[in-house]
Amino acid sequence: SQQGEEDPQALSIQEGENATMNCSYKTSINNLQWYRQNSGRGLVHLILIRSNEREKHSGRLRVTLDTSKKSSSLLITASRAADTASYFCATDLKSLGRLYFGRGTQLTVWP
């Protein structure tokens, strides 16, 4: 079963707009990671946020974590057509190095 669930399942926006994707999870975590996948290829690690962190930035990416609500969000600012991909959140239950992924959000950015 999926530990995390992303919302929405699909998101379609114009270049220059911001894209926000949400992730909810079920059990307590030590960290949460966001990955990107282009067209069924390998996953690219975007950002890791630990349970004692509330917000983290990396370039045009901003990730927030609310452990009380068991949720995280990924914001991509000023989106580009090249950002078109599937985005997954992954949790590491019990810090064993085993990632549990949601079904992902398919982001399409139109030029």
Pair 16, 79: CB distance under 8 Å: yes
Number of residues lying near other proteins (CB under 8 A): 28
Q: What are phi and psi of 80, to 5 degrees?
A: -125, 160
Write the binding mask 69 to 108 for other proteins: x where contact by CB under 8 A, - elsewhere.
-------------------x-x-x-xxxxxxxxxxx----
Residues with Cβ within 8 Å of 3's Cβ and at least 6 positions away in sequence, in order, are: 25, 26, 27, 91, 93, 100, 101, 102
34 binds other proteins, rule: CB under 8 A: no
Q: Binding residues for other proteins, per CB under 8 A?
A: 2, 4, 30-31, 33, 35, 40-45, 48, 50, 88, 90, 92, 94-104
